[in-house]
Chain A
Amino acid sequence: MSAGSSSRLSRRRPSGRKALLATLMLLVAVASAFPLVWMVLSSLKTPAESMQVPPVWIPLTPSFDAYEKVSGVVNVGRSMWNSLVIASITTAGILLTSMMAGYAFAKYHFPAKSLLFSVLIATMFLPPIVTLIPLYRLVGSIGLNASLAGIIVPNLANAFGIFLMRQFISGVPDELIDAARMDGASEFLILYKIVAPSVAPAIAALALFAFVYHWNSYLWPLTVLQGNADAYPIVISLSRLLSYNRGAVNTGLVMAGATLAVLPPLILFAVLQRFFVDSIVGSAIKG
C-alpha cells in the first residue's frame, strides 16, 4: 500500500509534472460534473434566458418557476412517495433475505452448498431483459400487475446482496458464534445481536446501494405498471416531460424535473459515499 504510484514518479521535473496532473484532474472533474451543473443551472433559468444566443450559462435572475410548472405536468408528490415506498420496502426485504442467506452460506455446512451458491451467484450476471417476458406474465397471473406490490415483490431478494453478506459474515469469528450457541442463543438472536453489529458497514453499504438502485430503476416498473399512473415512481412520471422536450422553451421545465429525480440519490450519496465505495470494493476484491 505504500503509495505505489507516488514512488514511480520521476523526480526530474516534479513541479511541472504536478501542475500537469492537477490540470488533468481538474479537467476530468469539470467534464464529469458539467452535465449535472448545467442541469441545475438550466432549471433555474427563465424561458427567455434558456433561448438566448449566445447562451447564458449562469442564470442572472434565478427563478423557481420551472419547478412549479413541473408540478402542473407531473404529480411530483405522489410519484416521490411511490418511489420512496418502492425503494424502502425493497431495500428492507433485500437486507433481511441477504443477511439470512449470507449467514447460512458463511457459517453452516449443508449438502450441495457450493452448487446452490454458484447457481444463485450466476443470476447476478443475468440481464433482467432475459427474464422480463415470462416474469411479466407470472406477476400478472398472481394478481400483482399494475400495482406497487408487483414492482416490489420480485425484487425482495437478490444474489448481489447474498454475495456481499457472505463475504463479510465469513470474517466474523466462529468462536463468537459458538460461544453464543453455548449460552443457548437462537440462531436468529445470534444473527441479530452478534453478526449484524459486526458487519454493520456492509449492511449500510448494501442498504444504500439497494435503495439507490431501486429508486432509479425504470424498465421493470414501466413494464409491470402498464399505465397505472397512480403507482408511477418519479423516474417514470418524468417521461411525461418528454413530450415537453421539444424546443428550448421547455428546457428549464425538463431540467427541473430531472433535478428533482436526481436529488434524493445524490444527497444520500453525498452524505454516505464511503459506504458506496466500500460495497463496490467489497464485491470486487474481498474474499
Chain B
Amino acid sequence: MIQRYRASAGIMLAPAVTLIGIFVLLPMLLTVWLSFQDWSTQTPFSSAGFIGLDNFREIFGVSSVGRDFKGALANTAIYTALSVILILPLSVAFGLMVYQRDVAGGTALRTVLFATYMVPMIAVALVWSKLYSPSEGPLNQMLGLIGVGPQPFLSSPRSALISIVFLNVWQQVGYFTVLAIAGLTQIQGSLYEAAKLDGASRFEQFRFITLPLMRRTLLFSAVIAIINAVQVFEPVALITQGGPVGSTNVLTYHIRRVGIERAQGGLGSAMAVMLMLSLIVVVCALFAFANRKNDE
C-alpha cells in the first residue's frame, strides 16, 4: 500500500515540481552563477566566463555603472519604506472602518477599495499620468480650488518618486485592507467586553488588544508589501523612464534595462543577487524584530 501511494505522490507532484524547478529554481541558481560571470544575454550560457567578484566590484564602484546601481538601490529602498509606512496604518484604519457593525456600508467600502487592486498596472499608470498632469490634470485643478499652486508631481526629481508611491498605495491598499480584516476577525470579542468592564478607553483597547493581536497579520502584510514594492515597474517604464534625473530609476526597471536591453547579463545578475540578498536581510530583520517584541 505505502509503495503505491509513494508512486502516486510522485505522479501528483511531478508537473508542479518540474515546472517550478525549470522555470523558477533553475533560473534563480543561474542568476547566482551568472553574477560571477562575464556574460552577454545574447549569447548561450556556455559562453560565460568566470570573473569572480568583478561584477560586484563594478556595481559598487565609482563608475557610471556603480553610480546608477547605487542610485536605483537607494530609490528602491526609499520607495519600499514609504510604501510600507503608508500602506500598513491605512490598511488597519480602513480595516477597522469596514469591520464595524453600527454604520452600514462596510462591505461596499471594501468592494470599492479592493476593486483598485484588480486594475492592470498599465491602466493605473495611464490614468495617473493624466491625473498628475501639470496643467490640465484634475489633481492640480482640485488643489487650485483650495488655493494651492500647481505641483510638478512627476516632472520634478523631488516629487516624482513620492508621486509613484502614492499611485502604488492607491492601487494596493485594498488588498492589505482585506488582510487586516482577516486579522481583525480572529480577535475574540470577549476581550473587548472584558476591557470595557475594566474601564479601558477605545484608544487603550486598540493599543493593548487590537494592535498586539494583529502582530502576525501586520508582519505578514509588511513582508508582502516589501516584496510587492521592489517589483514596481510599469509606472516607471511607462511614465518616467527612470527620470527626471534618475529619481525614479528603481531596481526592477534598472536590472531589466541592464540585463535585457543592454544584454549585460552578468552585471544584471549581480544586481539581481544584491536585490535578493537585501530582501533576505530586511525580511529576517523584520522577523527578528517581531520575535523580540514577542518575548517582552
A residues sitting closer than 8 Å to B (CB atoms) are 1-10, 14, 18, 21-22, 24-26, 28-29, 32-33, 35-36, 38-39, 42, 50-51, 53-55, 96-98, 100-101, 103-104, 108-110, 116, 119-120, 123, 125-138, 141, 153-159, 162, 187, 191, 212, 215-216, 218-219, 222-223, 235-236, 238-239, 241-242, 245, 248, 251, 254-255, 257-259, 261-262, 265-266, 268-270, 273, 276-277, 280-281, 284-285
Contacts and interface: CB of A to CB of B under 8 A. Distances in A.
B24 A123 contact: yes
B130 interface: yes
A49 B38 CA distance: 56
B123 A238 contact: yes
A24 B93 CA distance: 11
A220 to B, nearest CB: 10
B75 interface: no
Contact of B238 (A159, A242, A255, A265): A242
A218 B138 CA distance: 27
29 contacts: A8-B192, A9-B102, A18-B103, A33-B112, A35-B127, A38-B138, A97-B19, A100-B15, A108-B6, A109-B5, A123-B20, A123-B24, A125-B283, A128-B231, A129-B272, A134-B30, A136-B260, A137-B44, A137-B265, A223-B256, A236-B122, A245-B129, A248-B136, A262-B118, A262-B120, A265-B119, A280-B178, A281-B179, A284-B179
A279 B247 CA distance: 36
B256 to A, nearest CB: 6
B66 interface: no
B252 interface: yes
Nearest to B34: A134
Contacts of B187: 4
A214 to B, nearest CB: 11
Contacts of A6: 100-102
Contacts of A284: 179, 182-183, 217, 220
B202 interface: yes
A50 to B, nearest CB: 7
A248 B138 CA distance: 12
Nearest to B108: A29
Given A108-B12, A126-B28, A262 B102 contact: no
A280 B180 CA distance: 11
Contacts of A109: 5
Contact of A133 (B26, B129, B231, B269): B269
A239 B116 contact: no
B178 to A, nearest CB: 5
Contact of A239 (B109, B238, B283): B238
Contacts of B121: 216, 218, 235
Interface of B: 5-6, 8-13, 15-17, 19-20, 22-28, 30-31, 34, 41, 44-45, 94, 96-97, 99-103, 105-106, 108-116, 118-124, 126-131, 133, 135-136, 138, 141, 170, 173-175, 178-179, 181-193, 195-196, 202, 205-206, 210, 217, 220, 223, 227, 230-231, 233-234, 237-238, 251-252, 255-256, 259-260, 265, 268-269, 272-273, 275-276, 279, 283
Contact of B126 (A132, A158, A254): A254
Given A127-B227, A266-B119, A284-B220, A4 B184 contact: yes
Nearest to A236: B122
A281 B178 contact: yes
A125 B112 CA distance: 27
A110 B231 CA distance: 35
